Amino acid sequence: MFENTKPRIGQELLDVPMGDMIRQMAFAIAEAQIVLDQNSIDVAEMMGGLTTVTDEEGNVTFHDSRVYFGTEDVSRAEAIARHNSTVNIQQKAEIRTLLDTGYSPAMVSVPVGGFTPGSTKLLTTEYIDFQGFYYVGNGTGALDAPASQVSYGDLKIASTNTTTDSTTILKLPRRISMLECGFTPTFYQFVDTIIEVKISIRYTQEGSTNSAVNNNLRSSAARIGFGLGRIKFGRSVQTTQVNASYAQKYSYSAEGSSLLRTKLVPIPAPAVLEQRIQRLMEEEFNNTTPPQTPA
């Protein structure tokens, strides 16, 4: 009476791609771990004092990520030598500010009439800051060349009073890396990872039938004739009524759920990294290159 629509629950359970689901979750954890490790490496690089900067064209430069921590005493001669050997614009400016006077060329203001690169002349003891470059004077005589253009990092200065350069002490801001301050990069790792996949299938089917039969009989008779001779005739009709009802209930539901639970904890820095940090400290403070560890 009822069509058998019962699903094949066992087959449907087998059709669930549990392996793929678990594999994708595991890959998600692995990819997240790679991102965490890369971030820790970037932090270690920044704490070491230099940060790699890559522009849109793929050119790589380095940004000084050291921090100011105290001061150091250096002679005027040493400060000038440090100025001329570094390309750090900020450090150059700090040294020239502390020198104040006693070095050449010294910065002057842009002339009232303006400055024209390639034609304006300056004294040999002067330079100006104009549109992203320094222009160092070559003299103002008729035969002297116009001021020469140099980049901020290439500007070099000389002492105008060498007799006291070795005895005049300047307090330069000390810039050290965060590693030298005692900071270490933090590494993270996923531990106690639980991957759980659940599926439930619910199936119910109900059916019922009801029927009733009613029989009805109808008959009729009549006589016709003359006098004593009469003829009797008649007819009967029988009807049968059937009342039937059918009912069927069917429900099917399938539910699936997945759970991914993991714990993210910090772990100590690798031992090799700590050894390299110690070597870096020795090199920074002693200005010597420690013996290299065999590869």
* CA atoms of 66 and 47, how far apart (whole Å): 7
Give the mean model confidence (pLDDT) for residues 153-177.
Answer: 88
pTM of structure: 0.54
pLDDT (0 to 100) of residue 114: 86
* CA atoms of 265 and 38, how far apart (whole Å): 16
| Lowest pLDDT segment from 82-86, 119-123, 150-154, 174-178 | 174-178
CA 99 to chain centre: 44
pLDDT over 70 (residue 233) = no
pLDDT (0 to 100) of residue 2: 47
pLDDT over 90 (residue 269) = no
pLDDT band for 293, please (50, 70, 90 cuts).
Answer: very low
Give the mean model confidence (pLDDT) for residues 222-234.
Answer: 60
Let me know: does 103 contact 157? Beta carbons within 8 Å: yes
pLDDT tens per residue, range 182-220: 888 888 888 888 877 777 777 676 666 666 666 666 666
pLDDT (0 to 100) of residue 48: 83
Q: Which residue has the higher pLDDT, 275 or 215?
A: 275
Let me know: does 126 contact 145? Beta carbons within 8 Å: no
pLDDT over 80 (residue 221) = no
Q: Which residue has the higher pLDDT, 288 or 12?
A: 12
pLDDT over 80 (residue 285) = no
pLDDT tens per residue, range 91-140: 898 899 888 888 999 999 988 788 999 999 999 999 999 988 999 999 99
pLDDT (0 to 100) of residue 291: 43
**Which residues, in sequence order, are CB contacts of 176 under 8 Å at separation 6+?**
49, 66, 67, 69, 284
pLDDT over 70 (residue 36) = yes
pLDDT band for 244, please (50, 70, 90 cuts).
Answer: low
pLDDT tens per residue, range 168-178: 898 888 888 88
* CA atoms of 178 and 41, how far apart (whole Å): 14
pLDDT over 60 (residue 289) = no
Is residue 110 helix, strand or coil?
coil
pLDDT over 60 (residue 50) = yes
- Give the residues across from 149 on adjacent strands: 135
Look at residues 90, 72, 71, 95 and name the one whose alpha carbon lies nearest to residue 157.
Answer: 95
- For 218, the token pair is 């109808």
Question: E strand or H helix at 35, and its extent?
Answer: helix 18-47
Burial degree of 180 (CB within 10 A; 0-12, 13-18, 19+): buried
pLDDT over 80 (residue 288) = no
Let me know: does 158 contact 106? Beta carbons within 8 Å: no
pLDDT (0 to 100) of residue 287: 55
pLDDT band for 13, please (50, 70, 90 cuts).
Answer: low
Give the mean model confidence (pLDDT) for residues 63-80.
Answer: 87
Sign of CA dihedral 142, 145, 146, 152: negative
Look at residues 25, 89, 3, 48 and name the one whose alpha carbon lies nearest to residue 178.
Answer: 48
